[in-house]
Amino acid sequence: MNLDLLAIAAHPDDVELTCGGTMLKMAQAGYKTGILDLTAGEMGTLGAPETRAKEAALAAKILKVKYRGTLGVPDSDVRASRQHKLRLAAAIRELRPRTVIIPYWEARHPDHYNASTLCYEGCFLAGLKQLPMEGEPFRPHKILYSTAFANIRPTFVVDITAQFAQRHKAIKAFHSQFKGTSRKRKVFLAIDRLEDEMNQIARHYGDMIGVRYGEPFLQREMMKVNNVVEMEVRSM
């Protein structure tokens, strides 16, 4: 498909919560975007897989992505196994994304931090010529880590002020997950307060770059800047 931007995450709604505004912004700029959910979220306490699939399709339409798929990794068993990596490598060869957004490598949820390793190694394997699978060898040009779940200083923040309302609609498309926080639980579920926390994080990172809402990202390599005169964020 030759995607310009592909976001990969463990569960349906993870992309919407962590980088949905950025996905919409790039789609609005004319780039071909896509979302790949590693699992169908079938182990979640709320919402059957069929329901979540319908919600994911609606959210994808709101974010204007050209592609959304599910890799078929079992929920709660996201790990960098050979089987999962080969399946992901095949998807990367098919979609051929220039830039890939993946989860940060530290997180509360095991599926999230394991997804980070799985995604990186799957992208790497996709470029091996001798790998016994269909498709031309391919590796993304850029790997970005979504750090919205992580308490670290990001490399950069994307201004999503203009996209924030639509991001909110995309999150709310997952009605089974975000009905409100008044439900009483015997077991604590972070999702009961997750959307409010993610909105606060967007506001926090927006403040850091002088806008209302932002989404944070990290890259491992050094960032190149061509024009130091036109850099936007004020120092004082």
Domain count for the chain, please give it: 1
Structure tokens at 44: 């979640």
Give the whole-angstrom CA distance, residue 129 versus residue 70.
25
Q: Which residues contact 111 (CB under 8 A, 6 or more apart)?
A: 10, 11, 38, 39, 75, 76, 78
* Residue 15 placed within a domain: yes
CA–CA distance from 31 to each of 5, 159, 179 (Å)?
Answer: 7, 17, 32
Q: Is residue 232 in a domain?
A: no
> CATH number, domain at 151?
3.40.50.10320
pLDDT string in tens for the chain (236-residue length): 899 999 999 999 999 999 999 999 999 999 999 999 999 888 776 768 788 899 999 999 999 999 999 999 998 999 999 999 999 999 999 999 999 999 999 988 899 999 999 999 999 999 999 998 999 999 999 999 999 988 899 999 999 999 999 999 999 999 888 775 445 545 444 555 677 888 899 999 999 999 999 999 999 999 999 999 999 998 98
Range of the domain at 159: 5-218
Residue 67 within any structural domain of the chain? yes
Whether 234 maps to a domain, the answer reads: no
What pTM, to 2 d.p., does this model score?
0.92
Exposure string (b/e) for 117-130, b if CB count within 10 Å is 16 or more? bbbbbbbebbeeee
Structural domain includes residue 235: no
Q: Does 229 reside within a domain?
A: no
Paired tokens of 57: 């399709």
